[in-house]
Amino acid sequence: MATKKTSKKTNDNKAAKKTAKKASKKSAIKKEEIISSEVESKLEEQKKELAEEPTKEIQTETIPSTQEEDSGRNKILIAVLVVILIVIGIVLVKPSKKEEQPKEPTKIESTQPSQTQVQPTQEKEQPKQPERKPEPQFKEYVIQRGDSLAKISGKFNKPAKEIQDANPGVDWGKLKEGQKIKIPQ
């Protein structure tokens, strides 16, 4: 019987603890509900107070100094733009030195007969013949074993380009012994 009493006591203790926990949870929930209802009522009161308060008018003033500054800035901006346009106009209108060409005097022909008589010249003007460039003189050279364009150029103290120009049909990479080339003088 003693064991039955102890097990009954432990069961009673467990049941008491469970009911205590349930009661504390219920009381916490009730406290939260009370607090939230109080907060809601305070919010409602504040809303009513705000709705009842007369609205205040906010007066705004324009500060004249900022308007004056803006108009001053606009004037400066316009002045700068005008200067830039003037400079661009000067550059476009002024001809560059390269483009300047001496102007030929204009000949004025009169339809009235002149009082001075033109005397015929004894020498007739002959049409000018184009000047002929003297043909370059060449010296003939016979290619020897081991010759190259560079060696020949050095031997005659002539630029390789002149020697090449004087011999257009020569393949300088395949010079043959006994081949004849022209060396400009």
The answer to the question of residue 28 being in a domain is yes
Enter the tokens of residue 97.
Answer: 């030195």
- What's the CA gap between 155 and 146, in Å, rounded? 13
The answer to the question of residue 142 being in a domain is yes
The answer to the question of residue 125 being in a domain is no
Q: 49 pLDDT band (50/70/90 cuts)?
A: confident
**Given CA atoms 103, 104, 105, 111 in this order, what sign does their dihedral have?**
negative
Q: What is the DSSP letter of 57?
A: P
Per-residue model confidence (pLDDT) at position 152:
92
Per-residue model confidence (pLDDT) at position 103:
58
Which whole number is the average pLDDT over 158-175? 91
Which whole number is the average pLDDT over 16-25? 72
Q: Taking the C-alpha atoms of 165, 171, 175 and 179 in order, what is their torsion angle to the nearest 10 degrees?
A: -60
Q: 93 pLDDT band (50/70/90 cuts)?
A: confident
- Please state, rounded to an integer, the average pLDDT across all residues of the chain: 76
Per-residue model confidence (pLDDT) at position 153:
92
Q: What does the DSSP assignment read for 121-161?
A: PSSPPPPPPPPPPPPPPEEEEE--TT--HHHHHHHHT--HH
The answer to the question of residue 119 being in a domain is no
The answer to the question of residue 13 being in a domain is no
Q: 15 pLDDT band (50/70/90 cuts)?
A: confident
Cβ-proximal residues to 57 (8 Å cutoff; 6+ apart), any chain:
none
The answer to the question of residue 152 being in a domain is yes
- What's the CA gap between 29 and 36, in Å, rounded? 11
The answer to the question of residue 124 being in a domain is no
What is the domain count for the chain? 2
CA atoms within 13 Å, Cβ hemisphere of 98: 0
Q: Is the pLDDT of residue 184 over 80?
A: yes
Q: Which residue has the tokens 């409602």?
A: 44
Which structural domain, as residue segments, surrounds residue 144? 138-184
Q: Is the pLDDT of residue 162 over 80?
A: yes
Q: 182 pLDDT band (50/70/90 cuts)?
A: very high
Can you say how many angstroms the Cα of residue 163 is from the centroid of all Cα atoms in its chain?
A: 49
Q: What is the pTM of this model?
A: 0.29
The answer to the question of residue 108 being in a domain is no
The region of weakest confidence among 14-18, 30-34, 76-80 is 14-18
